[in-house]
Structure 1
Amino acid sequence: MTEFPPLKNDLILRAALGKKTERAPVWFMRQAGRYLPEFRKEREKHDFFTLCRTPKLATLITLQPIDRYDLLDAAIIFSDILVIPQALGLEVEMLSGKGPHFPNPLKVPQDIDTRLRKHVNVYEELKYVFEAITMTRKALNGRVPLIGFIGAPWTLMAYMIEGGGSNNLSKAKTWLFSYPEESKRLLQKITDIGIEFLIGQIKSGAQMVQVFESWGGELSPYDFNIFSLPYITQIAEKVKTQLKQENIEPVPMVIFCKGSWYALESLSNIGYDTISLDWTIDPAYAKAITKGRVTLQGNMDPNVLHGTHEEIRSTVRRMLENFGTGEKYIVNLGHGITPTTDPENVKVFLETVHKVGLELNNNIIN
């Protein structure tokens, strides 16, 4: 294992594992990205996936929000969930203003065998992510922990079939309801790669990892239990088991299933340390369902950051009052930060998290 500088701020790691904290730690999904002018300058010079595939550039971009604000309690490696479909052999483009695009998505189950790689050497195909993580971890010099991530199998499968974003996922769902066994075979293939990919990220220096089931809420509760839950459960179980077998210290694992409010109880029992919440879940409901079994993360609507400073401050205060600030809570948004967000509003958010978090915690102590 690589030697890294000692960690100076372990707040988020303690919170993710349910330990007491001086205040609630904070980070953003998509905190390194399009809302920052310094990122847009790099994007003008390089294709999106060139940024992902070039460790030096990925490190630079990962550090941009950390350098700008100095109020974040974690960095998340600059990458994309769709690097797994790329490793499987599919072409993925990132179109300006439109998002991800697969020029030739999967169309029929036979494509699993004829168009996807039968064996993926994760350490070769995704070597650039591992290198970026190691490089970034060193460059952080212990300032904050580094988060790695993957897309969950159902979300990746949906992208691979839809060819990009979709309003109803009709093509991907056609597979589920017309070819359920073939769909499960594809989900398992993605799961196996995801497990190995996460373990590789941890070995490379990731100190916490998150699984993004961004399209979980597009499934009914019944279908979620068939086509999502078994695979994200495997990821948590197998990553932790293999790390233990190799005598590698485990890291906190976070699950984010956007829109899957109905699955909260199940999600709190499958091996993840933290559940990230979208903005449609009431804090009191989340706490009642999870019963303190896990740390909660989130859940402010990202669009609040388009509001007034007064509204941002009042929303942050309400969120911290509802979730608590000294134990089992990590401040975040209910989804990724949007590209049109004003960086100054992000600063107001972060300053308020620090100020109110300390204030509320001191009130509890006193």
Structure 2
Amino acid sequence: MAKKINDVIIRAYRGEETEYTPVWFMRQAGRSQKEYRELKKKHSLFEITHQPEMCAYVTRLPVEHYDVDAAILYKDIMSPLPAIGVDVEIKSGIGPVISNPIRTKEDAERLGTINPGEDVPYVLDTIRLLTEEQLEVPLIGFGGAPFTLASYMIEGGPSKNYSKTKAMMYRDPETWFLLMDKLADMTITYIQAQVEAGAKAIQIFDSWVGSLNVSDYRIFIKPVMTRIFNELGNEGVPLILFGFGASHLLMEFNDLPVDVIGLDWRTSIEEAREMGVTKVLQGNLDPAILLADWDTIETRTKAILDSSMKDGHHVFNLGHGVTPDIEPATLKRLTELIHSYTKR
């Protein structure tokens, strides 16, 4: 029998009044936790995610250590790609490296489809283990957005300028839209399976879409994102969209059928509202501030909370992920500050 869940974050995502501002941290699972570092001495990311008991352990650690209001499944946006025929390896210090990049229409046509129950059963088993037996807060599932996934698949790995990706987009739109459609199909199916297994909210990471201007976003990206969120809207869970360095795209995000928009630290809550953003906001403390003295951390955090409490529709998070050099004790203290300062 499933445990009773503290659903404050789900209510906040739906724009409802809550008794305090809920909080979780992107990349809270792992990174700076010593228990995780011990595991990583023996196991790769993919090895951990393929073992449900171990993966569930890593996922729930930050909930137990920091008292955050949600867990986020420990995995990578690359996790579903091998199922459709992408040879990807997560290399330490580099990131995802793909040995069979997509460069032609034939490459895109060769991509298969995902059957989550057969291709990634360990992901679904981890979700069930967490939501049916272990967690007392909601589990957030996630996936990568087509542009961000495509940027790795076309470049062959991380990129600073996405030149190959943009070249395909501009030079060969037929192949581009074929790839977008295949990745959308994969994302929809993959996320639907996560929700069916027990995920209570979904975040779509479009980490690198900020490299596009507004006009190109509208032409090459927005239609596929609209389709994804329209389909996922039928699942009945809050949908969150996060893009890094994408302040100029916030009103485009606001047009999409999402419930929540994640902000990085470049745009304040007030600025987003002044632009006309009406969705619930998530964010947006710069992770680097957590390496400063506590007085600075407290001052910066309270400034975000003061502005968000005026607004009333906010979930606290970082403007990007936890970095390995952030002390776990700082994250625990930060959670305590957020909860106590916003208690109503």
Unaligned runs of 5+ in 2: none
Q: CA deviation at 1:72?
A: 0.2
Given that residues 254 and 273 in structure 1 are in contact (C-alpha distance below 8 angstroms), is that contact kept between their aligned partners in structure 2?
yes
Aligned with 1:310 (options 295, 307, 311): 295
> Is residue 248 of structure 2 the alignment partner of residue 288 of structure 1?
no
The SS at the match of 2:80 is helix
Given that residues 158 and 172 in structure 1 are in contact (C-alpha distance below 8 angstroms), is that contact kept between their aligned partners in structure 2?
yes
Q: CA deviation at 1:216?
A: 1.2
Unaligned runs of 5+ in 1: 244-249, 362-366
Partners of 1:144 and 1:328 lie apart in 2 by: 19
Per-residue displacement from partner, 1:260-309 (whole Å, max 9, x unpaired)? 22222232232111111111112212122345x32100011111111111
1:179 corresponds to: 172
1:58 corresponds to: 55
The residue type equivalent to 1:139 in the other structure is E
The residue type equivalent to 1:285 in the other structure is E
Q: CA deviation at 1:138?
A: 2.3
2:131 corresponds to: 137
Given that residues 233 and 239 in structure 2 are in contact (C-alpha distance below 8 angstroms), is that contact kept between their aligned partners in structure 1?
no
Matches within 5 A, 1:31-180: 31-69=28-66, 71-114=67-110, 116-117=111-112, 119-141=113-135, 143-180=136-173
Partners of 1:319 and 1:255 lie apart in 2 by: 20
Q: CA deviation at 1:326?
A: 8.0
> Is residue 239 of structure 2 the alignment partner of residue 253 of structure 1?
yes
Given that residues 55 and 131 in structure 1 are in contact (C-alpha distance below 8 angstroms), is that contact kept between their aligned partners in structure 2?
yes
Partners of 1:34 and 1:265 lie apart in 2 by: 32
Task: Tell me which moved more, 151-160 or 94-103.
Answer: 94-103
The residue type equivalent to 1:102 in the other structure is I
After TM superposition, which residue ranges in structure 1, 4 or more long, deviate above 3 angstroms? none
The residue type equivalent to 1:22 in the other structure is E
Q: CA deviation at 1:43?
A: 0.9
The SS at the match of 2:285 is coil
Partners of 1:169 and 1:43 lie apart in 2 by: 30
* TM-score normalised by the chain length of structure 1: 0.90
2:11 corresponds to: 14
The residue type equivalent to 2:308 in the other structure is F
The SS at the match of 1:324 is helix
Partners of 2:226 and 2:241 lie apart in 1 by: 10
* TM-score normalised by the chain length of structure 2: 0.96
Task: Report the count of equivalent residues.
Answer: 344
The SS at the match of 1:254 is strand
Given that residues 122 and 193 in structure 1 are in contact (C-alpha distance below 8 angstroms), is that contact kept between their aligned partners in structure 2?
no
Task: Tell me which moved more, 280-289 or 193-202.
Answer: 280-289
Per-residue displacement from partner, 1:174-224 (whole Å, max 9, x unpaired)? 111111121111011000110111111110000011000000101111111
2:2 corresponds to: 4
Per-residue displacement from partner, 1:129-188 (whole Å, max 9, x unpaired)? 1111111112334x2111000000100000111122111111111111111121111011
- Percent identical across equivalent pairs? 36
CA RMSD of aligned residues (A): 1.6
Per-residue displacement from partner, 1:107-127 (whole Å, max 9, x unpaired)? 33321124x22x332331122
The residue type equivalent to 2:26 in the other structure is M
Partners of 2:90 and 2:59 lie apart in 1 by: 18
Partners of 1:306 and 1:172 lie apart in 2 by: 34
Given that residues 65 and 332 in structure 2 are in contact (C-alpha distance below 8 angstroms), is that contact kept between their aligned partners in structure 1?
no
Relative to structure 1, the CA distance from residue 190 to residue 64 in structure 2 (aligned partners, 3 Å threshold; closer, same or farther) is same
Task: Tell me which moved more, 210-219 or 101-110.
Answer: 101-110
Q: CA deviation at 1:259?
A: 1.8
Aligned with 1:353 (options 332, 338, 344): 338
